[in-house]
Structure 1
Amino acid sequence: MIRKLLLILCLSLSLMNCSDMLEMDPENSVTFENGLESELDLESTLNSIQYNIRQNLGVGQWGMIVRGIMCDTTEAVVARNFEYSYAPKQSWNDHYEIIAGANVVLHYVDEIQMPDTRKNYYRGAAYFYKAFAYLELIQYWGDCVLVDENVPMDSQAKSYWTEVADHAIDLAEKAAALLPDFDKVTTANGEAARYKSAPCKGAANTVLALLTSWKAGCKWFAQPSERNYDENELWKKAEAACTAIIGSESGQAKGVYQLATTPEEVCTSVLVGESKESLYESQYIGFWDEFDMTGWNPLQDNATLFQTWPMMDIGKKDVQTATVRIYAETVKRMYESGDLRRDAYFYAFDEMSHPDSVSVTGGFAYPYKWRKVALVTSGSQIGKFLHIDQNRIWWRLADIYLLRAECRARLNKTELAIADLNEIRKRANAPLYNASEHGGDLRMTIFKEREKELIFEGYRYLDIVRNNYVRSMLGRGFRLASDQDYVDGCLFWAINTFAFVYNPRLRQNTYWQKYEQ
């Protein structure tokens, strides 16, 4: 695998069909023959990495997300209940292409004449992309191959996820130090960045917060030999990274990012794209013609697995056969009366949850978090639902407020944690924190608030793992798994078979080896 990484990158760069979003001239395509000779070549390489993230990352995540998605019943019972009779394999090739592309930038950046401020931006962007790729690798595959800037040309064994996390944390810290805030990011031509897919300080601090909190919270399943670290120091780093994003120690954000005014605005603006609450996103709006939609869906189109009518032009009864379903009574228990999220995140909730509607609804609620759709414009299906026409929002400010609240709860900064929790509740018109909630367990209360605020956005499984709630919050197979099963990697994907072809020293995730004998 390792020896092919740069070859794969160069092939993809030379064959890629790039539009004005990437601004990449085929004459400047990167190959071993001509290398990177100008700042535009560096920018084109970074844009190709953005393209890879937009096209490929997240496409295979549904099997992981559904394990923890908030629902009452689902057709995805094998993943939900962890009842595999086979090793669920996913390819990590795209993540290593991102790392390889970033290493190309780091290799050439000092050879190109340009101001130091521009060199620092390209270094920071490359560090950001590598840290981002490693974050997903350790969250979804656990132990993985660690590739530093000197790419080995022979096979290489995996490293423990804890070691990879340390490397990625260092990368994210470098990125946050080098990158400017989003409103200061410019292109090689001196123009302001148009899209929030551009690496920036806020995005780098987000990855830093996620990496440090992951290593801190997931110590419970680290290899015994790898547990000799102080998780409180990591929680402090995560808290500091969150504060750098928010721009204030408590209360209203005072930095580049701002919370939207209402939960309704979260649906109509934030999750669509380019809002002040969005920290990092992949740009899809305006660029759908670059994708072959046959057999491919971006992650946001997973909403079609739980959102039915009225987003799609199908009958109201189809909610009863959605892949993922949640009862109206569950929603009522989650959101207190007056919580604006109940009416924003679920369509016509009072009407559709009325007892008179049960014959139509089956008792299920109608998730309605993704609103903007593209319709078929020609042919016999004209006017029919085609796909969700929104950007992929990787992270938003509400997530960071609640992550900081979790950090502070773990560090016994109780009042500050409550203040962050209440900042999100105030927007939703939800009751402010009461010490009696969840038996006085503040961390559980924060987890439940993330559950309410970020419902269906794909974070809950990772939140459950980070908090070690796997036996109380996940399906029956997770409850039956032993402590050693978790150390051996049952939470993660099995490595795709193709990865072993070019890397003979690579070994399958320990837990899944039993399916390969």
Structure 2
Amino acid sequence: MKKILILFLFIPLFSCNDWLTVEPEDSVTFVNYFKSESELEALYNMVQSRMKYVCFGRQPYFYSSIDADDVQSDVDGYRKLDVLKYTGTSNTQSWTAFYNVIYLTNVMIENQHRFENVSKERADFWLGQIHFAKALAYFRVAQIWGDAPITPSSESIDPIGKSPALEVLQEALKEARAALVLPTHDKLVGATGAAITTKQCASLGTVNTLLANICAWMGGLTGERKYWEDAERYASEVLDGKAGVYDLESMNGLIENVLGKNRKSDEIIYAISNNALDYDRNYESFQKEAPGHFLISYPYLTEDKSEIANLVNNSKNAYTRIKVTTVKEIYPEENDLRRKEFWYKLGELKYYSKSESESESESETDLESKEDSLYSPYAHIAKWRYMVRQMKEDIAGMPAILTDCDWVFWRLADLILLRAECRVQLDMTDEAVSDLDRVRERAGLAGYAGSTSKEALREEVFLERRRELFGEGQYYFDIVRNGYFRKYLLGGYRTLTDEDVKNGALYTKVHSNAFRKNTLMTQNTYWQWQE
């Protein structure tokens, strides 16, 4: 008998209004469950409700990868690997949410012999979704913590120690390959036969993208050519049109359809669905789901140009800030369309600090005419420019402020540049440049004309990923995979020894709750030395 503690069975996927129901024999068993396809979908929805924590949780990498000149004091310790600040803050999350997903996926996989009134094709579909979720959870655990437990089953309550990171990645690889039975995204249907349009539901393209990312990470970890070959092959399945239809948006379409409120695009490969009714989005303050969100002041707080500029110029580090000069260094070509589309009036904003005696009602035009009106040295990101402000009186009368978009985890430009990186590693120079140029062309740039030596091209692909995916949460992992932490990270990262890295310095410290009732759990060696 498979057992599970059922608390408010099946938390909703998108909204607190979508409560799901089940019919277990009693409150702790699944003996009388899995009687129909709708019950498989219900368990799948419970897994889906937790996937945003797998993709966007506030782990230290989130703070370490804030690409800015100044950051808020409470995250500066992460960015500089300041051990005292790093270990003394509550921002570090545990891996509980990840293992909750793994536990629930094990429940379905282990109970597939109980499925009733479900065809093999439909059973394979839901199992494919579950294998994908399990694979992604293990992949993220390996990226973030390195060595970690591999759970034997949903029933096991025995203490379990950590497995090496490479074994965790092998487990992710095995589960992802089991999900290759999924159809392309245009053929996804739910239990009622209705089409599934959300890109949070895995498809053949999503699975191949995950496999490419797992293999590329293993290539970076081990330096072994075979992993880069596999990563390039899986990426090509998607990019060559064998796993569904995907295409780059125009630059305007990228902002509106991929990172904006339209939420529908052939560029999106995998995204966490998000809307204004999400039960856990009821906050007074802006919720930062990606590192780049720290730089949002437009249009979150105001749409007035002078006030936007004043926010950071007079904040005394109350806001995370990036300088206009830094942005221009990241995007060195003046005709790069991303300078205009990713940044709000880059280098054009003026600010003016009014004295107490001056009128509070002076217009923006009046302020800009002042002799001491100055151009702001700081930039304001505008990749996510649509916000929702509302009062949710049915919950607590609290105002909710959130980005009006889905949380995009993988998009086509990301995968194109990942394949370019793989091709550099495989000495496929012309093919790598072709991938690089595809993204550059969308940005309004001519083909790459720089050095094509292996190291120069590898770094150029990395820098193009930095430009294209700025603030989207990939930067830290790109740095680690390429071994660029001493060059592109700050503070303590620059003095790490090879032994420090081997001992887990680039991974997150294991949270204290992982040690409860688990006598076999151990801390990463690097962090154990810091305690």
User: What range describes the TM-score normalised by the shorter chain of this pair?
Assistant: 0.7 to 0.9
CA deviations on 1:232-252 (whole Å, 9 max, x unpaired) are: 11111111111111125xxxx
- The equivalent residue for 1:471 is 486
Q: TM-score, normalised by structure 1?
A: 0.87
Which of residues 411, 417, 421 in structure 2 aligns to 1:406? 421
CA deviations on 1:265-288 (whole Å, 9 max, x unpaired) are: 212210132321111111112532
Q: Report deviation, 1:31.
A: 4.1
Whole-angstrom distance in 2 between the partners of 1:297 and 1:99: 30
Which of residues 70, 93, 97 in structure 2 aligns to 1:90? 93
Q: Report deviation, 1:145.
A: 0.3
What does 1:343-492 align with in structure 2 at a 5 Å threshold? Answer: 343-352=340-349, 362-377=376-391, 386-436=401-451, 441-492=456-507
- The equivalent residue for 2:105 is 102
Confirm or deny: 8 A CA contact 1:135 1:168 kept in the other structure. yes
Q: Report deviation, 1:296.
A: 9.0
Mark the runs of 5 or more structure 2 residues left unpaired by the alignment: 353-367
2:156 is equivalent to residue 141 of structure 1 = no
CA-atom RMSD, angstroms? 3.1
Q: 1:407 to 1:375 in 2, by over 3 A?
A: same
Which of residues 250, 257, 260 in structure 1 aligns to 2:246? 257
Whole-angstrom distance in 1 between the partners of 2:291 and 2:15: 26
Task: Give aligned pairs, total.
Answer: 491
Whole-angstrom distance in 2 between the partners of 1:152 and 1:297: 40
- The equivalent residue for 2:162 is 158
Q: 1:136 to 1:360 in 2, by over 3 A?
A: farther
- The equivalent residue for 2:130 is 126
CA deviations on 1:279-307 (whole Å, 9 max, x unpaired) are: 1111112532x226348976537554211
2:270 is equivalent to residue 271 of structure 1 = no
- The equivalent residue for 1:234 is 227
- The equivalent residue for 1:117 is 121
Confirm or deny: 8 A CA contact 1:59 1:298 kept in the other structure. no
Which of residues 515, 520, 524 in structure 2 aligns to 1:500? 515
Q: Report deviation, 1:6.
A: 6.7
- The equivalent residue for 2:207 is 204
- The equivalent residue for 2:68 is 71
Amino acid corresponding to residue 79 of structure 1 in structure 2: Y
Amino acid corresponding to residue 345 of structure 1 in structure 2: F
Whole-angstrom distance in 1 between the partners of 2:71 and 2:453: 27
Q: 1:301 to 1:232 in 2, by over 3 A?
A: closer
- The equivalent residue for 1:223 is none
- The equivalent residue for 2:7 is 11
Whole-angstrom distance in 1 between the partners of 2:258 and 2:445: 20
Q: 1:94 to 1:384 in 2, by over 3 A?
A: closer
Q: TM-score, normalised by structure 2?
A: 0.85
Secondary structure of 2:410's aligned partner: strand
Secondary structure of 2:7's aligned partner: helix
Q: Report deviation, 1:378.
A: 7.8
Whole-angstrom distance in 2 between the partners of 1:265 and 1:309: 19
Amino acid corresponding to residue 325 of structure 2 in structure 1: E
Mark the runs of 5 or more structure 1 residues left unpaired by the alignment: 220-229
Secondary structure of 1:402's aligned partner: helix
Confirm or deny: 8 A CA contact 2:350 2:374 kept in the other structure. no
- The equivalent residue for 1:36 is 34
Q: 1:168 to 1:400 in 2, by over 3 A?
A: same
Which of residues 31, 37, 43 in structure 2 aligns to 1:45? 43
Which of residues 309, 320, 324 in structure 1 aligns to 2:320? 324
Q: Give identity over the alignment, percent.
A: 30
Whole-angstrom distance in 2 between the partners of 1:258 and 1:339: 20
Q: 1:295 to 1:111 in 2, by over 3 A?
A: farther
Amino acid corresponding to residue 154 of structure 1 in structure 2: D
2:259 is equivalent to residue 283 of structure 1 = no
Confirm or deny: 8 A CA contact 2:169 2:218 kept in the other structure. yes
Q: 1:240 to 1:22 in 2, by over 3 A?
A: farther
Secondary structure of 2:298's aligned partner: coil
Greater RCO, CA 8 A, separation 6+: 1
**Structure richer in helix, relative to its length:** 1
